[in-house]
Structure 1
Amino acid sequence: MARQREAWDLGAGRALAPADPDVTLSVVVPFYNPGDALAPTLARLAAVLDATGHTYEVIAVSDGSTDGSERTVVGLHPRVRVDVADRNRGKGAALRRGFAQSRGSYVAFIDADGDICPSHVPAYLEAAMVGGHPVVYADKRHHESVNPSTTKRRVISWTFSTVVTTLFAVEARDTQTGCKVLHRDALAAVFPYLREEGFALDLELFVALGQAGRTGSLGMPVAINERLAGSTISTGSIVRTLKDTLRVFGRCHVGRAYAPARTGTPPAGVASLHPHRTEAPHGAVGAADAA
């Protein structure tokens, strides 16, 4: 397989284009070696979205998976397609690949491991549509949330939230829980400035939205289920995320990299791309064609 273009380069093509009027919602599902958890998660997601009556697409992005999990969704649903990256780069890179291909007036993303029920996606979509929020996000700290996480995970979450509160002035109390719905205009305003390839992409998204003046984010309750796949929390991932967070801090407060988002000034190089490109990037296949 030919090497994929840089994720942000790919992303600057489609995410800045107008929405397809025939697609209300695009849902990006990044995954890396999820094993047997992928197919049931996507099946439940398609089922709850079918029930809404909204037109939608699901873009499942393999971040260089090596377990063949993309083959488990062959023929799963006509509105589910799979995009396969040729190497592992991180959740943020996978999300940006998916954002680049999205066509909906709203763009959502949810983790593939099954710990968050897909029924939250249409609920958050409805809240975004009715309330006019630029982003509706899963908030584990909401008083109605159900979170059976281990003590270790709770401590990690609390520590990271404390770091974020100390370093950044973001609206979101919980930047990292993996379910969010964004208005396409809000995504388009900040997408050219996103650079993170790992878990810190979630944080970077809120930082860039704040810099762009896109306020009014809404946190909603989330029910965390028992994880169907293995945990992605490890000492290495924690260290990487903290390093990435400091990089976002430097980009925000030292380099002022997100400040131009308020005026809509594109980063260097974006104008030379093709913002209205509509063809699918190399590596994108429908569920029925996945091999």
Structure 2
Amino acid sequence: MYREAARIEATVAALATSSLASPKDQLIFVDDGSDDQTADTVLAALDRFALPAQVVRLEHNMGKGAAVRAGILEAKGRFVAFVDADLSAGVTEIERCFRFIEAGGCEVVASTRGAPSSKILKSQPPLRQVSGQLFNVLLRSLGLTRLADT
């Protein structure tokens, strides 16, 4: 998460009331060197909602890939998932992904805005949409992914 002080409490609240708040699950929040109150805000929200979670702080902004890597390196569970701080896919979608894996028959589940069944409730700004599409075209041209959204 980077500069997410304004919205991270809502994310913590949503997680606290979900099945993901189970003691068997490990929640890790990674602050990607935010220069606002993101880390303090998430710590206060975790305390307020009594949600056990770990907060990893990167010293300076290193980008989403580095933040995801830092979180995955801290993860100790059998399954690992990463989501954006705004929970754009929603808690129920995350729970649904875990049900697919727990049922067996697959090792990876990907949730993507590019799926035909996706319902975009809040669109990203046009420049962000175009830059994301260009990045994904590049990834697909290099054979690195078949997903329309990473």
Q: Which residue of 2 aligns with 1:173?
A: 147
Question: Is 1:91 matched up with 2:60?
Answer: no
How far apart are the structure 2 equivalents of 1:78 and 1:114? 16
How far apart are the structure 1 equivalents of 2:11 and 2:63? 20
| CA 1:158–1:64: 2 relative to 1, 3 Å | closer
Question: Is 1:70 matched up with 2:44?
Answer: no
Q: Alpha-carbon deviation of 1:50?
A: 4.7
Question: Is 1:142 matched up with 2:115?
Answer: yes
TM-score between the two structures when normalised by the length of structure 1? 0.45
Q: Which residue of 2 aligns with 1:122?
A: 95
Counterpart code for 2:29: A
| CA 1:64–1:158: 2 relative to 1, 3 Å | closer
Q: Is the 8 A contact 1:62 1:85 kept in 2?
A: yes
Greater RCO (CA < 8 Å, at least 6 residues apart): 1
Q: Deviations over 1:242-261 (max 9, x none)?
A: xxxxxxxxxxxxxxxxxxxx
Structure with greater proportional strand content: 1
Alignment root-mean-square deviation, CA: 2.3
Q: Which residue of 2 aligns with 1:55?
A: 24
Q: Where does structure 2 lack aligned partners over 5 or more consecutive residues?
A: none
Q: Is the 8 A contact 2:30 2:56 kept in 1?
A: yes
Q: Is the 8 A contact 2:31 2:39 kept in 1?
A: yes
How far apart are the structure 1 equivalents of 2:126 and 2:2? 25
| Larger-gyration structure (1/2) | 1
Q: What is the percentage of aligned positions where both structures have the same residue?
A: 28
How far apart are the structure 1 equivalents of 2:15 and 2:35? 23
TM-score between the two structures when normalised by the length of structure 2? 0.81
Alignment partner for residue 108 of structure 1, among 76, 81, 102?
Answer: 81
Q: Is the 8 A contact 2:25 2:77 kept in 1?
A: yes
The number of residue pairs the alignment matches comes to 144
How far apart are the structure 1 equivalents of 2:128 and 2:37? 28
Q: Alpha-carbon deviation of 1:152?
A: 4.2
Alignment partner for residue 136 of structure 2, among 141, 161, 178?
Answer: 161
How far apart are the structure 2 equivalents of 1:102 and 1:65? 21
How far apart are the structure 2 equivalents of 1:139 and 1:78? 27
Counterpart code for 1:166: S
| CA 1:92–1:158: 2 relative to 1, 3 Å | closer
